[in-house]
Structure 1
Amino acid sequence: MTDARLFGDHFLRALPAEEQMTVQHVRALCASTLGPQAAEVAKQDVFAWETFRLLAREGIVATAFPRRFGGTDAPQRLRVRIIEELGRVCSTSASLITGTDLSSRAIVAGASEALQQQLLPGLCSGELQAAFGLTEPGAGSDVRGLATTFRRTSEGYLITGRKKFITRASTADWFVIVGRAEDTPGTFLAALVPRDAPGFTISPDVGKLGWFGVPIASLDLRDVAVPLAHRLGEEGEGFSLAQDALLRARIGHAAMALGRAIGAVEIAAAYACERSTFGKPLGEHQGVQWMLADMVTQVEASRALLALVADKYDRGDSDVATFASMAKLQATDLCMKVVTDALQLTGGRGYLQDFPLERFFRDAKLNQIGEGASEVHKSVIGRDLVRRARAAERHPCLREGSLVDY
């Protein structure tokens, strides 16, 4: 590893040699193909089949799947490095990898052996695609607000409900649908629905501001019959399956946002070295140096938090969900600020569609919204902090008694 790039490989060096080689392979793909083609891919919001097939062919899609189905069972410590590399050049590529994990995680964790044998090899190779049907018109980050119902039948379930903002809806072969039991609303379920199921309707793609190459659409389910064999996990495990998928997706969003922030700083710094104002390079002005100093310092700090979260997930730490919210909040808000400042630093050029920062700017916003808006994660973190504060060790500088008596 070398430090030729603006952001060093200190986190990469901590990985085993085989994992370092995987990241180097992704880096080479970014340099040869994904980066140069990113602007063209982002011109239309249609599914980026060529990019997806390249990522599948090169084994990057397989990092989300177990080895026994053709995958590599990559730990989060490796996946965040892969997604960071992809996000540095192409949001489409990064979101194809995070989206594969989100849409398939419940199948990996909850499908029967027969279903896994049927679907996971194809999902791993890219021959099949899945979509994750969780968000609804009235429920998103609050999974307990879901209105989709599962009515029990002698052969399985009849599912009725609406889903919104579903990535890959127009291309998926199978859909993970999460809802609640009609007769016991506190019981959450998840099941697999094929795209040609009677009563299942997929809307046309819905236009959006950025993140082109991974379209979204809505789903409508009206008494869609699902056999018992297509249920994921046991009755009541739908909530936990959804939460695990969202947890991994939030870590992915943080990695993607940091990759984009890294790319924005690199572009802005290169511009500052080449553009001259008032008789000297832009980068020699103290104000510009301070802007860049803030950017690089905050990005490196956020990368350290994300590395900690990845290790926590791989170890199975009980507090990983709260730390994932911290990483997602910090990285995505930081990315929006860094990309905005980088665009400001590059002036009119940064606003041009021909310049990468225009695309970075449009794509950055969704990271702050997807898989829980920043405000939701602040509430998650704050609630956890208050809960733990009640039982935490008393600060040694405080005297005995109630603090309100000071």
Structure 2
Amino acid sequence: MSETRLFGDHFLRNLQPEELAVVQRVRELCRSTFGPKAAEVAKQDVFAWDNFRLLAREGIVGTAFPRRFGGTDARQQLRIRIIEELGRVCSTSASIITGTDLSTRAIVAGASEALQEQVVPGLCSGELQSAFALTEPDAGSDVRGLKTFFRRVDGGYRITGRKKFITRATTADWFVVVGRAEDNPSTFLAALVARDAKGFGISPEVGKLGWYGVPISSLELTDVFVPDSHRLGAEGEGFSLAQDALLRARIGHAAMALGRAIGAVEIAAAYACDRSTFGKALGEHQGVQWMLADMVTQVESSRALLAMVADKYDRGDADVATFASMAKLQATDLCMKVVTDCLQLTGGRGYLQDFPLERFFRDAKLNQIGEGASEVHKTVIGRDVVRRARAAERNPCLREGSLVDY
């Protein structure tokens, strides 16, 4: 990568030449199309078909799929770089890529060979779309609170339940529906449901604060029949399939948030060079320099954590889920802070709809909420720390016995 950028390319050094070529192509698309058109895409919350089709045509959507179905089965080390580049200019484009992971992972991992052959090539090429139907009115991060039930019948299941906040619901051809067995609620199941299945309803799109271009809707399932051939994984594997999809999506959310933070700092730093106050450039004031120093340092630190998480995922490390929670928590909270500070630095211009930071500001909030709110990830991380502390090596500074005896 030859171009000079405010944030360096040090995290590209572990990529192979063919992976670097993908990053370069995404950068070109961001310069030519996604960046210049981002404001227009964000004016209405309708599905960004042009962005989706371009990402599919260029093979970027296909990075989530196995080679045997036309994809490239890209490593997470490459995926986070792609999402970061897109997030730097256009949340819609970045969320199309993270949403592809979320909505298709259970199909790739759990569908029968025959069902994969029927569906996955079309998902990879962009001819088909799928949606991930997990969240409900009373259950989100608490998956064990799901009230969508699978009732066993001859040849398959009857599914009844409600789903909420479902991205791509109005454009999806297939839906990955996760629920529990009616006769044994501790057993989780997942199945692939066609949008035209009898008893399956999709609500009108629901307006939201930001993230335009990827609308959401609710679903209603009333005694929807799904054949055995459309179950994903074995009975009882619905929870693990959902967790794997969420794990990859959380890594994607972190990358998208960092991309947006990078873009915000670039915009604020450029403004600081152009704007003059009290007889000198805004960027020559020490207070502004300190703001920029804090933001750049924190973003680079968060990028390093995410790079480690991607490496852990690619290696299959057992503790990757906890570290993904750390990366998602740290990156998304940081993004909200950085975008807010950048908007503050640019003053009234930052608040204008004509200026990109207004859009960045609205989009940043959902990263803190989607795929597990920051508070949920704090609980996940904290529980893991306490669990490991009980078995961890004792600090050599401590004497024998209980610490309450000090």
- TM category (shorter chain) comes to over 0.9
Per the alignment, in what secondary structure is the counterpart of residue 185 of structure 2?
Answer: coil
- Alpha-carbon separation, structure 2, partners of 1:26 and 1:145: 40
Cα offset, 1:142, TM superposition: 1.1
Contact map agreement 1:2 1:9 (CA 8 A) in 2: no
Aligned to 2:48: 48
Tell me how far 1:14 sits from its aligned partner. Answer: 1.8
Alignment of 1:27-106 (within 5 A): 27-106=27-106
Query: What is the alpha-carbon distance in structure 1 between the residues aligned to residue 393 and residue 3 of structure 2?
Result: 42
State the partner residue of 1:162: 162
Look up the match of 1:276: 276
Q: Which residue is equivalent to 1:178?
A: 178
Secondary structure of the equivalent of 1:127? coil
Aligned residue identity for 1:8: G
The letter for the 1-side match of 2:71 is G
Match of 1:224 in 2: 224
- Aligned partner of 2:118 in structure 1 is 118
Q: Output one character per residue of 1:118-175: Cα deviation in whole Å (capped at 9) or x when no partner.
A: 0011000000000000000010011111110000001100000000000000000000
Match of residue 384 from structure 2: 384
Amino acid of the structure 1 residue aligned with 2:136: E
Note the aligned Cα RMSD (angstroms).
0.5
For the pair 1:405 / 2:405, whether they are aligned, the reply is yes
Does the CA contact (< 8 Å) of 1:272 and 1:282 recur in 2?
yes
AA matched with 2:320? V
Amino acid at match of 1:332: T
- The within-5 A match list for 1:231-246 is 231-246=231-246
After superposition, give the CA deviation of every residue in 1:163-212 in whole Å (9 maximum; x if it has no partner). Answer: 00000000000000000000011000000100010000000000000000
Partner Cα separation in structure 2 for residue 206 and residue 114 of structure 1: 35
Alpha-carbon distance in 2 for matches of 1:86, 1:353? 20
What is the Cα deviation at residue 2 of structure 1?
3.4
Hey, what's the Cα distance between the residues in 2 that align with 1:3 and 1:333? Answer: 29
Number of residues of Structure 1 aligned to a counterpart in Structure 2: 406
Amino acid at match of 2:172: A
The gaps in structure 1 that reach 5 residues or longer are: none
| Alignment deviations for residues 237-265 of structure 1 (CA, whole Å, 9 cap, x no partner) | 00000000000000000000000000000
For 1:341, the equivalent position in structure 2 comes to 341
SS of alignment partner, residue 45 of structure 2? coil
Q: Aligned partners of 1:23, 1:194: CA distance in 2, in Å?
A: 34
SS at match of 2:101: helix
Alignment identity in percent? 85
* TM-score between both structures, scaled by the size of structure 2: 1.00
Which aligned runs of 4 or more in structure 1 are off by greater than 4 angstroms? Answer: none
**2:199 paired with 1:199:** yes
Give the distance between the partners of 2:59 and 2:236, measured in 1 at CA.
Answer: 34
* SS of residue paired to 2:225: strand
Alpha-carbon distance in structure 2 between the residues aligned to 1:287 and 1:88:
25
Task: Give the equivalent residue in structure 1 for 2:371.
Answer: 371
CA distance in 1, matches of 2:327, 2:123: 28
Aligned to 2:26: 26
Q: Deviations over 1:322-348 (max 9, x none)?
A: 000000000000000000000000000
Residues 56 and 125, structure 1, Cα contact 8 Å, conserved in 2: yes
Once residues 27 and 2 of structure 2 are traced to their aligned partners in structure 1, the CA distance between those partners, rounded to angstroms, is 13
Distance 2:385 2:401 in 1: 21
CA distance in structure 2 between the aligned counterparts of 1:4 and 1:80, rounded to whole angstroms? 20
Query: CA offsets, 1:266-290, max 9 Å, x none?
Result: 0000000000000000000000000
Unaligned segments of structure 2, at least 5 residues: none
Please state whether the residue corresponding to 1:187 is helix, strand or coil.
strand
Q: Residue type matched to 1:191 in 2?
A: A
Deviation at 1:293, TM superposition (A): 0.2
Q: Which residue of 2 aligns with 1:16?
A: 16
Q: SS of the counterpart of 1:397?
A: coil
The 8 Å contact of residues 83 and 98 in structure 1, kept in 2 or not, is answered as yes
Residue 363 of structure 1 aligns with an amino acid whose one-letter code is D
Matched, 1:354 2:354: yes
Once residues 132 and 401 of structure 1 are traced to their aligned partners in structure 2, the CA distance between those partners, rounded to angstroms, is: 50
Letter in 2 for 1:269: A
Q: Distance in 2 between matches of 1:81 and 1:14?
A: 11
Does the CA contact (< 8 Å) of 1:176 and 1:190 recur in 2? yes
- Contact 1:2-1:8 at 8 Å conserved across structures: no
**Residues 258, 331 of structure 1: 8 Å contact kept:** yes
Q: CA deviation at 1:363?
A: 0.1
Q: Which residue of 2 aligns with 1:285?
A: 285
1-structure distance, mates of 2:108, 2:219: 23
- Report the residue type matching 1:295 in the other structure: M
TM superposition shift of 1:17: 1.0
